[in-house]
A and B are shown apart, each in its own frame.
Chain A
Amino acid sequence: MNEAEATMDTDRGAIPMKDAETPFMADIKVAATNVDVFYGDTHAIKDVSVDIGDKAVTAFIGPSGCGKSTFLRCLNRMNDTIDICRVTGDIRVDGADIYDRTVDPVQLRARVGMVFQKPNPFPKSIYDNVAYGPRIHGLAANKAELDEIVETSLRRAAIWDEAKDRLSEPGTGLSGGQQQRLCIARAIATAPEVLLMDEPCSALDPIATARVEELIDELRANYAIVIVTHSMQQAARVSQKTAFFHLGSMVEYDDTETIFHNPSDKRTQDYITGRFG
């Protein structure tokens, strides 16, 4: 099955579609309105507005450098760690402005978790990697609870079976795909509501990619998931809604099916059909 999907991935012509049985627009989890981002003098994101639904996967696609990752990093204020970055506009999670002065980004990031492009397990044991978040946020009252959180997270990230016998071994010893699922487990362990994934499969081989995509689909039941990808097939496979970014602006945002079959903008169509990218 994995191999079949992998071959499809390379085949640009056939775009496999998800038969979307889930009801489409659920509650809005994250609402961004008129967001602009500046890196020093560079205007990186231009007036982007987007509503992200709960219990669904939203994909951001677009050519490299179009700003989709930058926008993603606004949603949990990861851009705060870059000195020269400045964000304006309004971003709300569950109706609350996350750029409000009273909001501590540290608390926000516990609720809006993030998985990165390259698997980045800490040079610690698998257990400590997953327990890191719950420990700093004080989610577990005792060791038994922590053990449970770790197990739950590893199960949800579909890596429990591979990791349960080697919890005390370093996380860096896992294979690339396992590392990425470990990172997903690590993000889940802080009990977030939203999961941001920045090209989570770009450093993985096709088989590992398929596992992670499956996992994303399972996780959809519990989280609002936003995934940045430059693989259109991946967006088509895992997401319900898709936003197309180009040169810092959001060109089009719609149901994934609509974007891939009936885009309203010429640029989207050109990108989908492979004229540029």
Chain B
Amino acid sequence: MVDMAALTKLHASPITATRVKARRRAETRLKIYGITAIFLAALALVTLLSSVFYKAAGALTESYINLPVTLSAEEIPVDDPGSANFGGLTKDVMKEVFPFVTSRRDRRDLYGLVSSGASFELQNKVKADPNLIGGVITFPFLLSDDADLYLKGFFGTLTSEDTDGALSISGNVTEVGEEVQLFSTANDFVAEVAVVKELLLIEAARVRADAERQERGRAVFTERAQAASTDEQREKLIAGATGYATQRDALNARADDLEDRALRPGGEEPLSSETPSLLLEVNGGWIDATRVSATGLVGEVVVPLFSDADAAPGEWVLHVMETPENARKVNDKQVIWLETLRSNEATETTFNWRFFTAGDSREAELAGVWGAIVGTFFTMLVTFFLAFPLGVSAAIYLEEFAPKNRFTDFVEVNINNLAAVPSIVFGLLGLAIFVTGVEFEVWGREIVIGGFAPRSAPIAGGMVLALMTLPTIIIASRAAIRAVPPSIRDAALGVGASKLQCTFHHVLPLAMPGILTGSIIGMAQALGETAPLIMIGMVAFIVDIPQGITDSATVLPVQIFRWSDFPERAFEAKTALAIVVLLGFLVIMNILAIILRKRFERRW
């Protein structure tokens, strides 16, 4: 027997005190793990939402340029305005604004600033109001996605540097594309030269690393050559090693040259599409620099100057675009044109209503979610009108009528398992049964079951989602029905109501708030489903707004999926904004469910 009294004394001993401290520390540790876990979950949520919202902000506005359009009656027949060449007219307008842009390539870049949808909008405007023909109107031309992104600063911003010197200009300054020399009386371009030289050093380091790799290759080949068994092999390997050595030397020489250029003070450095762009604004024109030194630069005229007169300090501006030309979708010339338009106050940024009213488009600036919203609406309509009555009836049967037997058990197990079947499997089911149909051979004849729903139509999608939502609705409805106290049933049955009357007159109305709450939550889940709809072909590119449940349509989540895959940068913001719209609908549905629960919550 242990002396328990002696053990009791242990409780007051210092050993125990230290032990308790250690135990308390263990407790604090566990608590910290818990807090960390919740913090991490919160962090994930905040990161996810903020990255989406941040990206979405870029799609909230769209950019236009307001330009005067001459609607001459010769070109636009009054009786049929739609037949005129509005695409040509739009180009003419651009040509008028930038008459000095003459080369084919530049023209194409210039026209590329305006969205292909702009001329259709002009056409529609004129068609709607033929009285405009013969006059001059100012029309907002929608900018293309890249131009729009530039104006929003997605490709970096054009910064103006401080300059001190007076600028002298030589060369043909009135012709676009001519080379001109510019000299400043101060060291105004020192900082820019330094940046370029730094890039040279980085490039040199890369070349050196490349050279090192060649050296390693040479070493390996040499080693192998020594170990080679046949002369033939050895020769081959030695030749390989020599090849590597030559390449190594060439690379090292290049690196030496680059480093030499970078470290030598002064000198003139060329600018390329991998360096920042220097754009000089002077005498009402723009010059795109091609070479730069500390006190001067050589460049190409993009917007003709008035004259080659000297510019006093402060009368000329040096613009720097940090983002290299090949890292942005608008080239230097387009930047200059857009900046010219911006300084003329021709550009305008408005709220992007189009996004919420337009259908899908391949052009990012024209794409909208309205088509997807309508498609979602029709799909949800089908889902609700199938899943709700079926789900509630099934729940009523299982809760109120079903005898406790194997069939009922089997149904229950089935429902629980269906609730956890991956959604993509439901998609395959929908594809096989609703869309293509399952073929059987019975007595030598082919029989097709199903296959009645048109591909990519809301009716097919709605049916698939209904099957997916059914278990959720059944489970929620059963819980709601079960929560109605038996006393209500007893009371109804006691006054002589039949079982069915009791259920439909008393139990169901009392359970309805719970059933509706569960159904809304089920519908919210269905609203976010993507995979099964992809399976039944709702991924097609559909421009038109669907008119009914049998029209081809897409839904919001699928639209998000498709857009996220597009390479155009502008679609990233559009995708994010579409997500915000989708989340908005989910929030509305959940709030509805919460209100319903709060409002009608009943405790017996």
A and B directly contacting (CB within 8 A) = yes
Binding site for B on A (CB under 8 A): 104, 106-107, 110-111, 136-139, 145, 148-149, 151-153, 155-156, 188, 191-193, 222
Residues of A within 8 A of B36 (CB): none
Chain B 1-28 interface residues, beta-carbon cutoff 8 Å to A: 1-2, 4-5, 7-8, 10-11, 15-17, 19-20, 23-24
Identify 23 residue pairs between A and B in the complex whose beta-carbon atoms are under 8 Å apart, listed by A's number. Answer: A106-B20, A107-B20, A111-B8, A137-B11, A137-B16, A137-B19, A138-B19, A139-B7, A139-B10, A145-B2, A148-B1, A148-B2, A149-B7, A152-B1, A153-B4, A155-B1, A156-B4, A191-B4, A191-B5, A191-B7, A191-B8, A191-B11, A222-B4
Q: Given A111-B11, A137-B11, A137-B16, does the pair A104, B24 have CB atoms closer than 8 Å?
A: yes
Closest to B21 in A: A104
Q: Is the beta-carbon distance between A107 and B16 smaller than 8 angstroms?
A: yes
Question: Which of these, B1, B11, B15, B24, contacts A110 with CB under 8 Å?
Answer: B11
Q: Is the beta-carbon distance between A106 and B24 smaller than 8 angstroms?
A: yes
How long is the Cα–Cα vector from A110 to B4 in the complex, in angstroms? 13
Chain B 24-67 interface residues, beta-carbon cutoff 8 Å to A: 24
Query: Beta-carbon contacts of B487-502 to A below 8 Å, as 1s and 0s?
Result: 0000000000000000
How long is the Cα–Cα vector from A145 to B20 in the complex, in angstroms? 20
Closest to B18 in A: A138
For the complex of A and B, list the 9 residue pairs with the smallest distance between their C-beta atoms, beginning with the closest.
Answer: A191-B7, A191-B8, A148-B2, A152-B2, A191-B4, A111-B11, A138-B19, A152-B1, A149-B2
Residues of A within 8 A of B23 (CB): 106, 136
Q: Is the beta-carbon distance between B4 and A188 smaller than 8 angstroms?
A: yes
How long is the Cα–Cα vector from A136 to B464 in the complex, in angstroms? 56
Closest to B4 in A: A191
Residues of A within 8 A of B11 (CB): 107, 110-111, 137, 191
Residues of A within 8 A of B7 (CB): 139, 149, 191
How long is the Cα–Cα vector from A152 to B16 in the complex, in angstroms? 21
How long is the Cα–Cα vector from A152 to B10 in the complex, in angstroms? 17
Q: Add 18 more A-B contacts to A107-B11, A107-B17 (CB < 8 A).
A: A104-B24, A106-B23, A106-B24, A107-B16, A111-B8, A137-B10, A137-B16, A137-B19, A138-B15, A138-B19, A139-B10, A148-B2, A149-B2, A149-B7, A155-B1, A156-B4, A191-B10, A222-B5
Residues of A within 8 A of B1 (CB): 148, 151-152, 155
Chain B 284-333 interface residues, beta-carbon cutoff 8 Å to A: none
Shortest Cβ distance from B45 into chain A, in angstroms? 26
Residues of A within 8 A of B5 (CB): 191, 222
Shortest Cβ distance from B131 into chain A, in angstroms? 76
Q: Is the beta-carbon distance between B20 and A104 smaller than 8 angstroms?
A: yes
Shortest Cβ distance from A94 into chain B, in angstroms? 9
Residues of A within 8 A of B15 (CB): 138
Shortest Cβ distance from A125 into chain B, in angstroms? 20
How long is the Cα–Cα vector from A107 to B23 in the complex, in angstroms? 11
Residues of A within 8 A of B2 (CB): 145, 148-149, 152
Shortest Cβ distance from B199 into chain A, in angstroms? 63
Residues of B within 8 A of A222 (CB): 4-5
Most buried by A among B2, B5, B17, B20: B2
How long is the Cα–Cα vector from A217 to B166 in the complex, in angstroms? 110
How long is the Cα–Cα vector from A156 to B3 in the complex, in angstroms? 12
Residues of B within 8 A of A138 (CB): 15-16, 19
How long is the Cα–Cα vector from A131 to B440 in the complex, in angstroms? 67
How long is the Cα–Cα vector from A145 to B3 in the complex, in angstroms? 11
Shortest Cβ distance from B10 into chain A, in angstroms? 6
How long is the Cα–Cα vector from A151 to B23 in the complex, in angstroms? 26
Most buried by A among B5, B10, B17: B10
How long is the Cα–Cα vector from A111 to B20 in the complex, in angstroms? 13
How long is the Cα–Cα vector from A188 to B15 in the complex, in angstroms? 21
Residues of B within 8 A of A148 (CB): 1-2
Closest to A192 in B: B8
Residues of B within 8 A of A153 (CB): 4
How long is the Cα–Cα vector from A90 to B152 in the complex, in angstroms? 70
Closest to B27 in A: A106
Residues of B within 8 A of A151 (CB): 1
How long is the Cα–Cα vector from A149 to B3 in the complex, in angstroms? 9
Shortest Cβ distance from B520 into chain A, in angstroms? 33
Q: Is the beta-carbon distance between A193 and B8 smaller than 8 angstroms?
A: yes
How long is the Cα–Cα vector from A151 to B4 in the complex, in angstroms? 11
Shortest Cβ distance from A131 into chain B, in angstroms? 13
Residues of A within 8 A of B17 (CB): 107
Residues of A within 8 A of B4 (CB): 149, 152-153, 156, 188, 191, 222
How long is the Cα–Cα vector from A188 to B5 in the complex, in angstroms? 11
Closest to B23 in A: A106
How long is the Cα–Cα vector from A150 to B15 in the complex, in angstroms? 22
Residues of B within 8 A of A107 (CB): 11, 16-17, 20
Closest to B22 in A: A138
Residues of A within 8 A of B8 (CB): 111, 191-193
Closest to A191 in B: B7
Shortest Cβ distance from B15 into chain A, in angstroms? 8
How long is the Cα–Cα vector from A152 to B7 in the complex, in angstroms? 12
Shortest Cβ distance from A157 into chain B, in angstroms? 12
Residues of A within 8 A of B10 (CB): 137, 139, 191
How long is the Cα–Cα vector from A229 to B23 in the complex, in angstroms? 34
How long is the Cα–Cα vector from A192 to B10 in the complex, in angstroms? 10
How long is the Cα–Cα vector from A191 to B11 in the complex, in angstroms? 8
Shortest Cβ distance from A39 into chain B, in angstroms? 21
How long is the Cα–Cα vector from A110 to B1 in the complex, in angstroms? 20
Residues of B within 8 A of A192 (CB): 8
Closest to A107 in B: B20
Shortest Cβ distance from B5 into chain A, in angstroms? 8
Closest to A146 in B: B2
Residues of B within 8 A of A156 (CB): 4
Most buried by A among B5, B7, B8, B10: B7
Shortest Cβ distance from B324 into chain A, in angstroms? 61
Most buried by B among A110, A153, A191, A192: A191
Shortest Cβ distance from A147 into chain B, in angstroms? 10
How long is the Cα–Cα vector from A148 to B4 in the complex, in angstroms? 10
How long is the Cα–Cα vector from A101 to B20 in the complex, in angstroms? 15
Most buried by B among A107, A148, A192: A107
How long is the Cα–Cα vector from A153 to B15 in the complex, in angstroms? 23
Shortest Cβ distance from A132 into chain B, in angstroms? 14
Residues of A within 8 A of B19 (CB): 137-138
How long is the Cα–Cα vector from A111 to B9 in the complex, in angstroms? 9
Shortest Cβ distance from B490 into chain A, in angstroms? 30
How long is the Cα–Cα vector from A29 to B581 in the complex, in angstroms? 69
Residues of B within 8 A of A191 (CB): 4-5, 7-8, 10-11
How long is the Cα–Cα vector from A192 to B8 in the complex, in angstroms? 6
How long is the Cα–Cα vector from A148 to B11 in the complex, in angstroms? 18
Shortest Cβ distance from A121 into chain B, in angstroms? 21
How long is the Cα–Cα vector from A155 to B2 in the complex, in angstroms? 11
Shortest Cβ distance from A154 into chain B, in angstroms? 11
Closest to B17 in A: A107
Shortest Cβ distance from B532 into chain A, in angstroms? 42
Residues of B within 8 A of A111 (CB): 8, 11
Most buried by A among B4, B5, B19, B20: B4
How long is the Cα–Cα vector from A193 to B6 in the complex, in angstroms? 11
Shortest Cβ distance from B442 into chain A, in angstroms? 56
Closest to A104 in B: B20
Closest to B9 in A: A191
How long is the Cα–Cα vector from A153 to B24 in the complex, in angstroms? 27
Shortest Cβ distance from B531 into chain A, in angstroms? 41
Shortest Cβ distance from B6 into chain A, in angstroms? 8
Shortest Cβ distance from B24 into chain A, in angstroms? 7
Residues of A within 8 A of B24 (CB): 104, 106
How long is the Cα–Cα vector from A9 to B218 in the complex, in angstroms? 102
